[in-house]
């Protein structure tokens, strides 16, 4: 077990910078997820921690030691790959014990470790099978078993669930979480799936274009995104962004969406946004759950307006509604009994206590 | 694990397979037609050899139906198998082939691994270069090579010409490039993550090769082995040029030099010798056929 530290880590391929100076501190026992769209540098970062890629600049430390030039086998790490990477000619038990056998551990020790890991992953009856006789989920368990038996300082996961179907993915997600609760090994996990990131992580690192956009707990990222990228990447359906600007009406600060629609801001928000020039082009960020059907007795900060819906999507426990405001498509979530229908008008309410205001040009959340 | 079951007993539509199976039938007919033609074409010579090998010299030269044996005899077989000279040729061929296969595999498997996996400077160019060497025919090389060995003999006193072991240097120039090329293809079909997993598990390059790559690419190694064996067993030009004493000859050359005396062709024994000479590769093919086929097609599709 160990902490992992990245200091201004850069990866250059010829002219292209895949990773552009990353600083990251991962505490002992922590489960950190690197998430971002494909090509954002998250896998490269993981592979640099593993030692599979050289680093062009900066330092990587595991357990306080700089490991820049340490080969992978001496870094005491274990990695789980997207395509499992099981040795096809070995049984499950042989796959799991390969690393220990190379290090010439005593046979009894190897056996007890393999048995323990097999029990933890519920694959005891599979240990004598070959990988081709296993299903995708079982193979991924074996790949995790291979990591667990080594009892390494750090676990690295490279999109381990991407090859599984949706249902199995949910199940394996819970499985990974359980394993981490038991073994408490420091874990770095790479995924492009924000749901995986939110559900698994102690802390999420959102990456884009080779840089870290934001680091935080899942809740921090969801409720206090730092940039438009994070705000739109985290959460499903994604946050709505509506062009707007600030306006003073009758001595109160308003946010004006259209000629017709302008909402007064709640006092706390008004104080926070007071200093923004009124002419600035802004975006109003609202999550779909903060756009609901209007209620007879609204709480303070909740403002109602009327609109015509484009499309509705009944999901059972809720209905997703889509309408257009100032050219932007907006998504809301209403009660299935609210009477939302395709093409029909509906009276909606926006919860401005949970609003975000973004600079349209820089994408920074204000 | 729970699994949801889907009711597949939903009403189905009757599908006509008529035209499909008619197409298939025609395709099969044509396939058989050509396969039979090819089979006749390729099997006629060995059958003719077999028939001739059962005839006495008198019957061969008699003007009877050449496709029928009127007085079958095993005298050609008995003559060859009791001839020390022929057994010597056979023995020389076996020793040369076994050594060449071993040398080839010891060079080309590690070479292929290095060229396909240990991305070093110039490795791609080198891999292409290896293949290009294979494209140069031995008919172009045998005179300069002969001259080279003669010069080496003069300088160092190491006599290579007219020794069977000169073939252990010559044959690998044919087998190593091709086998290396085959193995590069094989190793390329092994996912990169497999060696990365091995590296993280603590394996060195050598351990990755011996404990992961060789077992996984075993069909490819079999294919390369068969190829190397066939090439060295059947090679004619190099032994013809480089060996002359009867005790140094390998079978293909031995048969024609010892059984053709001037303008006298001992056809019965020539045919018998050729058949017996073809036996070892045939036996090896028969045993390793499954591996060989798997070897030729692996890597064609993913999965």
B54-95: pLDDT as tens digits = 988 888 888 788 888 888 888 889 988 888 888 999 999 999
pLDDT at A361: 84
Which of A228, A256, A276 is the last residue in one of the domains?
A228
In angstroms, the CA B117 to CA A205 distance is 33
Q: What is the pLDDT of residue B158?
A: 85
Whether residues A328 and A201 share a domain: the answer is: no
Q: What is the pLDDT of residue B15?
A: 55
Quick check: is A366 in a domain? no
Q: Are residues A267 and A119 in the same domain?
A: no
Tell me whether residue A364 is in a domain: no
CA distances to A115, A195, B41, B276 from A176, rounded to whole Å, are: 18, 14, 63, 63
Residues of chain B predicted below pLDDT 50: 1-10, 297-303
Model pLDDT, residue B300: 40
Q: Is residue A81 part of a domain?
A: yes
B198 touches chain A (CB under 8 A): yes
Mean predicted confidence (pLDDT) in A1-5:
85
The pLDDT of residue B98 is 94
At A247, which CATH number? 2.40.50.140
Domain count of the fold of chain A:
2
A158 — phi, psi (to 5°)? -110, 95
At B301 the pLDDT is 40
Mean of per-residue pLDDT scores for chain A? 89
Same domain assignment for residues A66 and A122: yes
SS3 B122: coil
pLDDT score of A245: 87
> What was the pLDDT predicted at A166?
86
pLDDT of residue B17: 57
Q: How confident is the model at residue A94 (pLDDT cuts 50, 70, 90)?
A: very high
Residues A44 and A191 in one domain: yes
Looking at CA atoms only, how far is residue A194 from chain B in angstroms? Answer: 24
pLDDT of residue B5: 45
Cβ-in-10-Å burial (0-12, 13-18, 19+) of A114 comes to: buried
Last residue of a domain, one of A202, A228, A254: A228
Q: Do A171 and B194 touch (CB under 8 A)?
A: no
Residues A82 and A173 in one domain: yes
Report the chain B residue with the minimal C-alpha distance to residue A50.
B200
CB-CB neighbors (< 8 A) of B196 in chain A: 50, 52, 72, 79, 81, 85
In a domain, A235, yes or no: no
Task: Name the maximum alpha-carbon separation found in chain B.
Answer: 88
Domain containing A121: what range?
A: 4-228
Question: Where among A203, A228, A253 does a domain terminate?
Answer: A228
Pick from A81, A195, A185: which is nearest to A142 by CA? A81
Report yes or no: B202 at the A interface, CB cutoff 8 Å: yes
Q: Pick A89's closest partner by Cβ from B200, B203, B216.
A: B216
A194 in the same domain as A69:
yes
Which of A51, A85, A99 lies at the smallest CB-CB distance from B193? A85
| CATH (domain of A172) | 3.40.50.300
Rounded distance between C-alpha atoms, residue A299 and residue A207, angstroms: 37
Q: Do A73 and B215 touch (CB under 8 A)?
A: no
Residues A250 and A213 grouped into a single domain: no
Do A215 and A316 have their domain in common?
A: no
What's the gap in Å between the CA of B128 and the closest CA on chain A?
24
Is A224 in the same domain as A263?
Answer: no
Nearest of A117, A82, A83 to residue A99 by alpha carbon = A117
**What are the tens digits of pLDDT across the range A300-358?**
888 888 889 999 999 989 999 999 988 889 999 999 888 888 888 899 999 988 999 99
pLDDT for residue B12: 55
For residue range B257-277, what is the model confidence (pLDDT) as tens digits? 888 887 878 888 889 999 988
Residue A365 lies in a domain: no
Mean pLDDT value of segment A88-98:
91
Rounded to an integer, what distance in angstroms lies between the CA atom of residue A174 and that of residue A180? 10
- The C-alpha of B216 sits at a distance from chain A's nearest C-alpha, in angstroms, of 6
Residues in chain A closer than 8 A to B212 (CB atoms) = 87
- pLDDT score, position B88: 92
Asked whether residue A272 is domain-assigned, the answer is yes
The nearest alpha carbon in chain B to A77 belongs to B200
Under 8 Å CB-to-CB from B49, ≥6 apart: which residues?
B271, B274, B275
A42 is a domain residue:
yes
Residue A244 resides in a domain: yes
Vertex B65: Cα angle to B60 and B69 (nearest 5): 65
d(CA B59, CA B213): 56
Nearest residue of A to residue B195, measured between CA atoms: A85
Beta bridge pairs of residue A283: A243, A358
A224 and A298 share one domain: no
């Amino acid at each position: 077990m160990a902490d992992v530290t990245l200091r201004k880590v850069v990866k250059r391929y010829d002219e292209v910078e895949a990773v552009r100076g990353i600083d990251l501190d991962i505490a002992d026992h922590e489960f950190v997820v690197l998430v971002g769209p494909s090509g954002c540098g998250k896998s490269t970062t993981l592979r640099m921690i593993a030692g599979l890629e050289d680093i062009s600049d900066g330092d990587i430390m595991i357990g306080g030691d700089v490991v820049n030039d340490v080969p992978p086998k001496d870094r005491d790490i274990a990695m789980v790959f997207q395509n499992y990477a099981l040795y096809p000619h070995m049984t499950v038990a042989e796959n799991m014990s390969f690393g220990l056998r190379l290090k010439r551990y005593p046979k009894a020790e190897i056996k007890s470790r393999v048995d323990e890991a097999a029990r933890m992953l519920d694959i005891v009856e599979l240990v004598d099978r070959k990988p081709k006789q296993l299903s995708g989920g079982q193979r991924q368990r074996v790949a995790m078993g291979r990591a667990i038996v080594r009892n390494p300082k750090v676990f690295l996961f490279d999109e381990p669930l991407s090859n599984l179907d949706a249902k199995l993915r949910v199940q394996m997600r819970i499985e990974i979480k359980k394993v981490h609760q038991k073994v408490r090994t420091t874990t770095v996990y790479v995924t492009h799936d924000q749901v995986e990131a939110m559900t698994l992580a102690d802390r999420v690192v959102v990456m884009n274009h080779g840089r870290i956009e934001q680091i935080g707990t899942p809740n921090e990222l969801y409720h206090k995104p730092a940039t438009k990228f994070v705000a739109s990447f985290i959460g499903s359906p994604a946050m709505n962004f509506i062009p707007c600007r600030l306006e003073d009406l009758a001595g109160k600060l308003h946010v004006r969406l259209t000629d017709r629609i302008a909402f007064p801001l709640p006092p706390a928000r008004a104080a926070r946004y007071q200093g923004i020039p009124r002419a600035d082009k802004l975006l109003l960020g609202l999550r779909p759950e903060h756009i609901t059907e209007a209620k007879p007795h609204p709480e303070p900060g909740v403002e109602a307006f009327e609109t015509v819906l484009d499309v509705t999507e009944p999901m059972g426990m809720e209905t997703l509604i889509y309408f257009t405001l100032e050219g932007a498509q907006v998504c809301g979530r209403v009660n299935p009994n609210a009477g939302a229908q395709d093409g029909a008008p509906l009276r909606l309410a926006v919860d401005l206590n949970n609003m975000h205001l973004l600079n349209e040009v820089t994408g920074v959340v204000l | 694990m729970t699994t949801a079951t889907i009711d597949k007993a939903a009403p189905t539509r009757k599908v006509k397979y008529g035209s499909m199976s008619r197409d298939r039938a025609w395709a099969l007919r044509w396939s058989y037609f050509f396969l039979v033609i090819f089979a006749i074409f390729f099997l006629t010579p060995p059958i003719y050899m077999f028939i001739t090998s059962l005839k006495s010299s008198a019957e061969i030269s008699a003007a009877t139906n050449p496709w029928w044996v009127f007085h079958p005899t095993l005298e050609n077989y008995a003559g060859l198998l009791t001839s020390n000279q022929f057994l010597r040729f056979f023995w020389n061929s076996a020793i040369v082939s076994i050594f060449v296969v071993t040398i080839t595999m010891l060079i080309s498997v590690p070479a292929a691994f290095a060229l396909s996996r240990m991305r070093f400077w110039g490795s791609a160019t080198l891999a292409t270069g290896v293949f290009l060497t294979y494209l140069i025919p031995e008919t172009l090389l045998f005179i300069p090579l002969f001259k080279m060995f003669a010069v080496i003999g003069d300088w160092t006193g190491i006599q290579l010409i007219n020794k069977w072991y000169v073939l252990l240097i010559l044959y690998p120039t044919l087998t190593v490039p091709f086998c290396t090329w085959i193995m590069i293809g094989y190793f390329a079909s092994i996912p990169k993550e497999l060696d990365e997993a091995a590296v993280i598990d603590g394996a060195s390059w050598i351990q990755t090769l011996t404990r992961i790559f060789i077992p996984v690419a075993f069909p490819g190694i079999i294919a390369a082995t068969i190829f190397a064996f066939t090439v060295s067993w059947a090679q004619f030009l190099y032994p013809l040029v480089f060996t002359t004493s009867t005790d140094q000859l390998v079978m293909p050359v031995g048969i024609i030099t010892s059984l053709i005396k001037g303008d006298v062709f001992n056809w019965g024994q020539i045919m018998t010798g050729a058949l017996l000479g073809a036996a070892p590769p045939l036996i090896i093919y028969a045993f390793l056929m499954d591996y060989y086929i798997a070897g030729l097609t692996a890597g064609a599709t993913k999965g």
